[in-house]
Amino acid sequence: MAQARPDRSTLSDGELVRLIQDGESDAFAELVRRTQRGGYRLARRITRNHDDADDVLQESYVKAYRALDRFAPDRPFGPWFLTIVARTALTWIRNAKRRAAEPLDEPGKDGSGPLAERVADPAHDPAAVERRARVERAYARLSEDHRAILALRVEGDLSYAAIAEALSIPVGTVMSRLARARESLVEILGELREAESR
Amino acid sequence: MKPNVKPDAHHPTPEELFAYRDGELSADQRTLIEAHVLACAKCRELINRVSGLESDLRMLPDPVGEEYYERMTESVLARVAAPGGSAETAPLAAERTPHVDRRRPDAAAAGGDERRRLRLPWIGIAGTGAAAVAVALVAVVLLHRPEEWVRAPRPVAVKESGKKAKSRAAEREAALAKNRARGRAQVPAAAGAADESGAPARKDQRAATKEKKVAEAKPSEAGASNETPSPSAQAPSPGAADAMGDRAAPVEGNAKMRAATREAVPQALGSIQTAEPPSSDRAPGEAYARVLRDHGLPVVWDDGVPPDALLRAEPDLRLVYQTHRAGADSARIRLYLAEAERARLSTPADPASIEHIANHYRRAISLARGDAALAAVARRRLADLLLSRPPTSQEPSTP
């Protein structure tokens, strides 16, 4: 249960890392707080279900924590952590732990509505709901590599250099793969739209 | 819609367009692509379309709530504090954080709001203004380096040596033959119906790319044995505007062309100013709002902000940004930082400082995501800054 911790919200990432390296391990809570949303969304985009995303995120934090003693405090923590999340998630979905992707059109196991209905509030703009649901379907049809690189760019907001590091590929390959992924997304979306209009 | 820019030698490649959109080109490359994009509706449309799609992807509401994050934090802390506990030994499933509240309170408000769709800054620019700016920029580029505009140069990162290029061409041919033999294209069958113009060549090319990827060792698998990147490696900066290098000097026109541009562009800028869309009414986040309150600043920088207030607020704004509390106000803060640094510029300003400030504006534009008014202001100020650059020593002085 949540314990009272000193407010470290005004410290920079580097200062927090130094505190942790000096033995104040509870400063890690603030780093977790700053990065958990981005980390979760990235893990969820790649694994495509909550349980895997949760496991990946926790495992990523454990790995990051154990590597912090060698981490240069002047380096931004967020991008480095997201590369850990990305690598962990990619490994996760490629091994036996993989679970089925959350279906777009069926209610979630936890009682939540279908993903397609959660993309926006229907009360506001049904057209936007439909459009976003279609984009999600198109995204789901991308190849694993294309989904991963788009997730890193869109959810992680990572630079090409950081994506290259996360995927262990050259920056030039990031550039071309990202372009192919985006073109594929546009193309698949066109197919979906055409199929729906028939 | 099928993006159809690659076959035309007068258009940049999709790689270049997207790298431009992502702020990943060097200064030289960016200038060339920007000049083209301002003048080319087709390329703008492709960039705008992809930006809209990615904005829709980002709009997926956070499927878990605050309670999940709180529990997850405690769970992580318990795991890292456990003696001998590790990613391998700790039973993850047993510790799984309960899945709680599915919707953020603000998700409903966000849903369906078309204003939050990412729009590129130029979408609100009046045609006349944009055209005039484009003509001026293209003129500078063409006259200064006509040999380079026959085709936009490929970014350094994707350049290949002649030998390597030949090898890749052979590889691509082999992949094409293999793909034809298999009688299948990369995309599902329905793509054929949706794809009328130039489809065969494009599809073959895409199939070849995929085949090539299959032949490659899976890079992420290669790195899979160790998901923790080197903590001491060179820091990748998220959204760093110039990951591919701003090492090249900015393109400098000669004094005569610069003078001509200065005559043409103010009129265009006037049009841009009058075409600025209404400002976003989104309330600022807590941290940013506090700084605004403390220093008496408006939510979005405008020409009426006194330079001394700007300079006093700068450290606080920087702290909010650096401590990751900027959130949706990131673009607004980058605009303020650009203006603060601009207020401190010495005369004559050195090119490195100008480029640094220009990067703040560019980042503000790319972060604006749906705030067309802010993007338009940043774009106007960027154009103004770049036009105010002093001539380089190579340029003859204006008579």
Q: B101-143: per-residue pLDDT in tens? A: 433 334 333 333 333 333 344 444 444 455 555 555 555 554 5
Predicted pLDDT of residue A127: 76
Cis check: omega of the bond before B348, within 30 degrees of 0:
yes
The Cα B181–Cα B179 span in angstroms is: 5
Considering only CB atoms, A25 lies closest to which of B49, B64, B80, namely B80
Considering only CB atoms, B80 lies closest to which of A28, A44, A112, namely A28
Contact B90 A62 (CB under 8 A): yes
B91 vs A43, which has greater pLDDT?
A43
Evaluate if residue A21 carries a pLDDT over 50.
yes
- The pTM assigned to this predicted structure is 0.50
Q: Does the CA dihedral A56-A30-A148-A88 come out positive or negative?
A: negative
- Among left, alpha and beta (phi > 0; psi -120 to 50; other), residue B327 is left
Closest Cα in chain B, distance from residue A19 (Å): 15
Contact A10 B319 (CB under 8 A): yes
Evaluate if residue A150 carries a pLDDT over 90.
yes
What residues in A contact B59, CB-CB < 8 Å?
119-120, 132
List, in sequence order, the alpha helices (H) in chain B: 14-21, 27-39, 41-58, 66-81, 107-110, 127-144, 146-149, 162-182, 190-194, 199-215, 219-222, 255-274, 286-295, 307-322, 330-343, 351-367, 372-387
The count of residues in chain B is 399
- Chain A to chain B, count of Cβ pairs less than 8 Å apart? 313
B92 touches chain A (CB under 8 A): yes
What residues in B contact A29, CB-CB < 8 Å?
73, 77
The Cα B315–Cα B328 span in angstroms is: 19
A56 touches chain B (CB under 8 A): no
Q: In sequence order, what DSSP letters do the residues of B331-343 get, joined into one string?
A: HHHHHHHHHHHHH
Please report the residues numbered 126 through 185 in chain A whose beta carbons come closer than 8 angstroms to any beta carbon of chain B. Answer: 126, 128-129, 131-132, 135-136, 138-139, 141, 143, 145, 148, 150, 153-162, 164-173, 175-180, 182-185
Predicted pLDDT of residue B283: 82
Predicted pLDDT of residue A92: 87
- What backbone phi and psi angles, to 5 degrees, belong to B2? -100, 125
What the block records as the tokens of B96 is 């799984």
Contact B64 A180 (CB under 8 A): no
Please report the residues numbered 309 through 338 in chain B whose beta carbons come closer than 8 angstroms to any beta carbon of chain A. Answer: 319, 322-325
Closest Cα in chain A, distance from residue B308 (Å): 24
Closest Cα in chain A, distance from residue B211 (Å): 13
Evaluate if residue A109 carries a pLDDT over 80.
no
Closest Cα in chain A, distance from residue B384 (Å): 27
What residues in A contact B95, CB-CB < 8 Å?
58
Contact B63 A118 (CB under 8 A): yes
What does the pLDDT profile of chain B (399 residues) look like in tens digits? 444 444 455 789 999 999 999 999 988 888 888 888 888 889 988 998 898 888 888 877 777 778 888 888 888 888 887 765 443 434 344 445 555 443 333 433 333 333 333 334 444 444 445 555 555 555 555 455 444 433 333 434 434 444 554 555 555 555 545 544 444 333 333 333 333 333 333 444 444 444 444 344 333 333 334 556 665 544 333 333 333 333 333 333 344 434 444 444 444 444 444 445 556 677 888 888 888 988 889 999 988 888 888 888 888 888 777 666 777 788 899 899 999 988 888 777 777 788 778 888 888 887 776 677 888 888 888 878 877 766 544 444 433
pLDDT tens digits for range A55-83 = 999 999 999 999 998 888 888 888 899 99
Contact A154 B81 (CB under 8 A): no
Predicted pLDDT of residue A22: 87
Closest Cα in chain B, distance from residue A193 (Å): 10
End-to-end CA distance of chain B: 51
List, in sequence order, the alpha helices (H) in A28-76: 28-47, 50-67
B7 touches chain A (CB under 8 A): no
Contact B73 A33 (CB under 8 A): yes
Q: What is the dihedral of CA B62, B63, B69, B75, to 10 degrees?
A: -140
A197 touches chain B (CB under 8 A): no
Q: How confident is the model at residue A187 (pLDDT cuts 50, 70, 90)?
A: very high
Predicted pLDDT of residue A175: 95
